[in-house]
Amino acid sequence: MHDATRTVHHPAVDEEGYASLTVPTHRASTIVYPDAASFFARRHRGFDGYTYGLHGTPTTRTLEAQLTALHGGVRTVLVPSGQAAVAIVMLSVLLPGDKVLIPDHVYPPVRSFCEEHLAPRGIAYGVYDPLIGADIAGLIDDAVKLVWVESPGSGTMEVQDVPAIVRAAKARGVLVGCDNTWATPLIFKPLAHGADFACEALTKYVGGHSDLLLGSITVADLGLRQMLKETLRGLGVGVSPDECQLALRGIETMALRLAHIGRVSEDFARRIARSPAVERVLHPALPSCPGHEFWRRDMGRSSGVFSIVLKPAPHALLEAALSALAVFAIGASWGGTRSLIAPMAIADDRTVTPWTDDGMVLRISIGLEAEDDLWNDLDALLAALERPAAARVA
């Protein structure tokens, strides 16, 4: 054998005794076959076998299996982002002439996808009041093939009556997909409540460190997995094992991180509610949050994201108070170790449930910093916003 050949043939090494607690990162495009017959027969391997790196390696399969177990499903499909998870479900289920129903508080890029991508291709969408519950039955006509839920909702945090919506959809043979990113499977398991697709932005709490983008779709039906994988194959979409390796590392600490930040977020939400600068607090664990009763019935525990509606304040004052934050970072993609705050313009995203508050909505995501440092930062922000209100009264 010449050296040039040796440079591309890796010698086999003994793995006897190598027992590690970590998941190896298996990178591959090509999968090779032991003989010609197995190459000819490769199609029979299906999506549980290995045929091409795009469709999975042992690293991606490990993360899929772990999410499947947490959700109590039968298979999980990984995609490059949380947004991709939603889009791939819709592209897999919906054909021209069909219709999808989305809640008015949906993650805004999902509405944009329906409006800018699906609608021009003949797939209609309808927007419903997130608190509609069983009355969604009145919106389900023969064209509706998918009902989308997101509970609680992005930004405004309404908790949906998912079991009632699922019952109404099932009665008409309509599929239900759930964006479960806030809750993670540790707090809510959509498949156990009858949903067909449980989607997660793994970017958030599974990754946990603001350094990766991934999404997942877990199903309880092998036929749905087949449909999703065929869509991904057609689009040429797969995920990197390096991202999955980071997610596999992040998920190991997720239960502890969530237990901590859930407790801190509930505590802070109650304390913030006492501030005269605040109109109301939208935290699923507080009765002031629409759908709180469904949180109590179906979840009972919190993650770290909630919103506050401020009393109207001069924009310059708010901008100065936010810029003065020393511990919270200003940013949108939550779920990492750093606490975040993001001012949100809600009114523009509403079409069936108008948003009438004049005050700004701040979305807060609790991270892993010391509680006192975080509270001092928030306290200073609220105090800065209280001052002019007090002045106006005087």
Ligand X SMILES: *Cc1c(COP(=O)(O)O)cnc(C)c1O
Which CB sits closer to ligand X, 181 or 240? 181
Which CB sits closer to ligand X, 103 or 133? 103
Which CB sits closer to ligand X, 204 or 225? 204
What's the closest the beta carbon of residue 86 comes to ligand X, in angstroms?
6
What's the closest the beta carbon of residue 179 comes to ligand X, in angstroms?
5
Enter the DSSP assignment of 315: H
Task: Count CB neighbours of 133 within 10 A.
Answer: 18
Please list the residues that pair with 175 across neighbouring strands.
Answer: 146
Distance CA 169, CA 134 (A): 9
Are 257 and 336 contacting, i.e. CB atoms less than 8 angstroms apart?
A: no
What's the closest the beta carbon of residue 63 comes to ligand X, in angstroms?
15
Which CB sits closer to ligand X, 144 or 199? 199
- Token pair in block for residue 190: 């959509």
- Token pair in block for residue 295: 């949180």
Distance CA 304, CA 302 (A): 7
Distance CA 361, CA 344 (A): 5
In sequence order, what DSSP letters do the residues of 183-211 get, joined into one string?
THHHH--GGGGT-SEEEEETTTTTT-SS-
What's the closest the beta carbon of residue 324 comes to ligand X, in angstroms?
26
Which CB sits closer to ligand X, 55 or 204? 204
The type of residue at 120 is P
Which CB sits closer to ligand X, 247 or 368? 247
Q: Would you call 337 helix, strand, or coil by DSSP?
A: coil
What's the closest the beta carbon of residue 316 comes to ligand X, in angstroms?
29
Q: What's phi and psi for 198, nearest 5 deg?
A: -105, 110
What's the closest the beta carbon of residue 84 comes to ligand X, in angstroms?
7
What's the closest the beta carbon of residue 387 comes to ligand X, in angstroms?
33
What's the closest the beta carbon of residue 336 comes to ligand X, in angstroms?
12
Which CB sits closer to ligand X, 57 or 365? 365
Distance CA 345, CA 362 (A): 9
CA neighbor of 67 nearest in space, from 206, 241, 193, 175: 206
Which CB sits closer to ligand X, 16 or 348? 348
Enter the DSSP assignment of 159: P
- Nearest position to ligand X, beta carbon: 82
Phi-psi region of 187 (alpha: psi -120 to 50; beta: other; left: phi over 0): alpha
* Exposure of 221 in the CB half-sphere (CA atoms within 13 A): 13
Which CB sits closer to ligand X, 241 or 313? 241
Q: Which residue ranges make up the site for ligand X (CB under 6 A)?
A: 81-83, 107, 150, 154, 179, 181, 201, 203-204, 213, 215, 333
Q: For Cα atoms 320, 326, 327, give the angle at the middle one, nearest 5 degrees.
A: 130
What's the closest the beta carbon of residue 87 comes to ligand X, in angstroms?
9
Distances (CA, A) of 151 to 36, 104, 232, 253: 50, 12, 26, 23
The type of residue at 27 is R
What's the closest the beta carbon of residue 154 comes to ligand X, in angstroms?
5
In sequence order, what DSSP letters do the residues of 106-145 get, joined into one string?
S-HHHHHHIIIIIGGGT-EEEEE-TT-GGGGGGG--TTEE
Which CB sits closer to ligand X, 87 or 382? 87
What's the closest the beta carbon of residue 327 comes to ligand X, in angstroms?
22
Distance CA 116, CA 363 (A): 26
Which CB sits closer to ligand X, 51 or 333? 333
